[in-house]
Amino acid sequence: MSLSSTPAVPPAPDRATSPTAVVRFEDRLFDAASALLLVGGVALFFVGRSALTSLSNGTYPPPLGETWVARTDFHANQTKLGGWLIMAGVAIALVSAARHVLHRRRTPR
């Protein structure tokens, strides 16, 4: 086998057979919304969880003008809201992934 018979670089596919990897602006917005929900939910969950931990350890500063139970309920609801935001972010990310796949299949090959 001679070296001149094998091409050094494979030929580029023509436009009719190569899949296009164009992502639409709406899909990018879905991705950004899911990322923001995930980051916000994780931050809210961890802030609430650390406050609940310091409440149980006795290192939390005493609340001014409210009871310990009200403060505990506030942080418990904060962690629940963070969990809901995380689940919403995951759901939107899954919808966005499905939109990416459907858009890729609709392009002519």
48-97: pLDDT as tens digits: 999 999 999 989 888 899 999 999 999 999 999 999 999 999 999 999 99
Per-residue burial over 71-99, b = 16 or more CB atoms within 10 Å of its CB, e = otherwise: bbeebeebbeebeebbebbeebbeebeeb
| CA 43/CA 73 separation, integer angstroms | 18
| CA 40/CA 68 separation, integer angstroms | 26
Q: How do the domains of the chain map onto residue ranges?
A: 30-106
User: For residue 26, what pLDDT is reported?
Assistant: 85
- What's this model's pTM, rounded to 2 decimal places? 0.72
**Greatest distance between any 2 Cα atoms in the chain:** 88
